[in-house]
Amino acid sequence: MLIGENAQGKTNLLEAVYVLALTRSHRTANDRELIKMAGA
């Protein structure tokens, strides 16, 4: 169980575990959309 205040990264941790386990994101089918481009 993850317990903590708002904005402490609980969701980020769960999303990272999901991506590592399934080697894909639930947010998009295109990995390029997940990468923040410098200067964008």
Domain residue spans of the chain: 7-40
What is the number of other CB atoms lying within 10 angstroms of the CB of residue 39? 4
Predicted confidence at residue 39, as pLDDT, reads 57
Predicted confidence at residue 38, as pLDDT, reads 58
Per-residue model confidence as pLDDT tens digits over 2-40:
889 998 889 888 888 887 887 777 777 777 777 766 555
Predicted confidence at residue 37, as pLDDT, reads 61
- Tokens 């904005």 correspond to 7
